[in-house]
Structure 1
Amino acid sequence: MNGSSAHDADVPVRRRGVALIPILAGVAAAAYAADVVSKVLVVAEMTPGSPVSLIDGVLEFRLVRNSGAAFSMATGYTWVLTFVALAVVAVIVRFARRLGSLGWVVGLGLVLGGALGNLTDRLVRSPGPLRGHVVDFIQVGSWWPTFNLADSAVVCGAVLLVVLTLLGYDYDGTTTGWAARRSGHRPTDGEDDGDA
């Protein structure tokens, strides 16, 4: 018996996952820093109820304190959303070593940075820890809820992950379906080729 196993075959994937962790951390840190800095500036320079128009009727900055989730959903459930954000952060951190796809690393980094940005508000802003209201300030038209850079990072990251999944780019760097056909990979017996 030569001692080889599926576990041994998984070693290169895990090594690549470890190598991609700095990129994940860098994307998350950039998204987090952009969110925190923008909120600090908005809180210091703006007054609630006094919006600043950037593009008339299209884009303005409007300081709002949000007790809900992204885009003002689930208002009043701040403490629940705090624990949901903590769970998301914990899952991404635990999952990071298994990543073998740069696209997934970028997507999860954006989600992680955004989740940490709004989580920081919930932990440090009034009315108190676990109940803090998130600072929102970007208003697009009159039909879209006010949001912030953390919300944007989470949504962009989630959309990227959905697109990668639909195209067949898996988190561990393997491909199925369209992505596998594009790269010339031929599925072996028992391997899903992504066709219905």
Structure 2
Amino acid sequence: MTTREPAKTIGAVRARAVVIGLAMLLAAVDLGLKVWVSGALAGGETIDLGPVQLRLGFNSGVAFGLGADLPAGVVLSVTGLIIVALAVFAWRVTPTATLPARLALAALLAGAGANLVDRTADGMVIDYLRTGWFPTFNMADVFITIGAAALVLVSLGKRQGEDPA
């Protein structure tokens, strides 16, 4: 064992702790908003925020309602497996990933995890952000989209032969 190995281990632990902590914080933001919106807009009210309105909606499918006709258990199982795969990937690459890649992974895990937690109660996800021209969505969806886009951009920015994360 060299003297550098403990420092690498501590760095890996810190990097993973930051990704997990940020993912939990972002997931809590989305879940908290879902709880608030469920109570505040239960009567069908809409809050106009300019380009976006807060309006309560429910989605039993995944993105754009795909899979809405499938049994909730199937959607939960498949989503859970995807999240486990994402978490294993994040766990493995985080120690050597750049900060932007770590932030992207945290956002992806947060959004996916928050929607999974929300879906476990009744097989549906609470949506609350409406633009009028796009399907209603939630902050978890925003986190997933931004995280995925950022991870793609980070990967494209790497020089050939480098680790993608």
TM-score normalised according to structure 2 size = 0.82
Aligned partner of 1:159 among 149, 156, 159: 149
Aligned to 2:37: 42
Instruction: Please say which structure displays the higher CA radius of gyration.
Output: 1
Matched, 1:61 2:54: yes
Structure 2 residue identity aligned to 1:72: G
Structure 1 residue identity aligned to 2:112: A
Aligned to 1:133: 124
Q: How far did 1:144 drift?
A: 0.4
Structure 2 residue identity aligned to 1:145: P
TM-score normalised according to structure 1 size = 0.70
Q: How far did 1:86 drift?
A: 1.3
- Shift of the 70–147 alpha-carbon distance from structure 1 to 2, 3 Å rule, reads same
Q: How far did 1:137 drift?
A: 0.7
In 2, the alpha carbon distance for the partners of 1:48 and 1:135 equals: 15
Identity of aligned residues (%): 29
In 1, the alpha carbon distance for the partners of 2:142 and 2:57 equals: 16
In 2, the alpha carbon distance for the partners of 1:135 and 1:48 equals: 15
Q: How far did 1:79 drift?
A: 3.0
Matched, 1:30 2:25: yes
Q: How far did 1:87 drift?
A: 1.6
Aligned to 2:63: 70
Aligned to 2:140: 150
Matched, 1:90 2:84: yes
Matched, 1:123 2:120: yes
Between 1 and 2, higher relative CO (CA 8 Å, sep ≥ 6) is seen in 2
In 2, the alpha carbon distance for the partners of 1:91 and 1:13 equals: 24
- Shift of the 66–48 alpha-carbon distance from structure 1 to 2, 3 Å rule, reads farther
- Shift of the 32–72 alpha-carbon distance from structure 1 to 2, 3 Å rule, reads same
Aligned to 1:110: 107
RMSD: 2.6
Give the paired residue count: 157
In 1, the alpha carbon distance for the partners of 2:69 and 2:8 equals: 42
Confirm or deny: 8 A CA contact 1:32 1:114 kept in the other structure: yes
Structure 2 residue identity aligned to 1:134: V
- Shift of the 49–165 alpha-carbon distance from structure 1 to 2, 3 Å rule, reads same
In 1, the alpha carbon distance for the partners of 2:109 and 2:87 equals: 9
Helix, strand or coil at the partner of 1:145: coil
